Amino acid sequence: MAGKYSDCYFCGGEVLAQRIDREIWWLGKLHLVQGVPAGVCRQCGQKVILPDVAKAIDRILEGKVAPERILQVPSFRYPESRAM
Ligand SMILES: [Zn+2]
C-alpha cells in the first residue's frame, strides 16, 4: 500500500510496507509474533509499527489469542571468565 508510512523519521528514506517477526518479552517470557505488518526503511532498516497494529499485538500478548504453537529455544549465558 503506497503512502501508508511516512518517510523515515531518522534518515528520511523511503519506508516500505513489509511483514516482520517481533520478539517481545512479556511478563518474563519471550513471545514471538510472526507476520506483523510494519514499515521498514529501505535505507537504514528502521522499523515502524502503526498504533492499530501495536494494539493488536497487545491483545495477543494479553492472552486473548491462543498461540499457534509453543517453541523451545536454545538459551545460553555468556561465560563469566570472558566478561570485560
Ligand atoms: Zn531510515
pLDDT in tens, 5-45: 999 999 999 999 999 999 999 999 999 999 999 999 999 99
Look at residue 53 and tell me whether its pLDDT is greater than 90: yes
Pick the CATH number of 1-70 from 3.30.565.10, 3.30.70.1450, 3.30.1490.100, 3.10.20.860: 3.10.20.860
Cα of 78 to ligand 1 centre, how many Å? 32
**Which residue, 39, 36, 33, 32, is CA-closest to 3?**
39
Cα of 41 to ligand 1 centre, how many Å? 5
Q: Is the dihedral of CA 11, 12, 13, 17 positive or negative?
A: positive
What pLDDT does 19 receive? 98
Q: Is the dihedral of CA 76, 19, 25, 64 positive or negative?
A: negative
Strands (E) across 1-84 are located at 15-26, 29-41, 47-48
Cα of 11 to ligand 1 centre, how many Å? 4
**Which residue, 20, 28, 22, is CA-closest to 60?**
22
What pLDDT does 84 receive? 66
Look at residue 1 and tell me whether its pLDDT is greater than 50: no
Cα of 16 to ligand 1 centre, how many Å? 11
pTM metric for this prediction:
0.79
Percent of the chain's residues with pLDDT above 70: 94
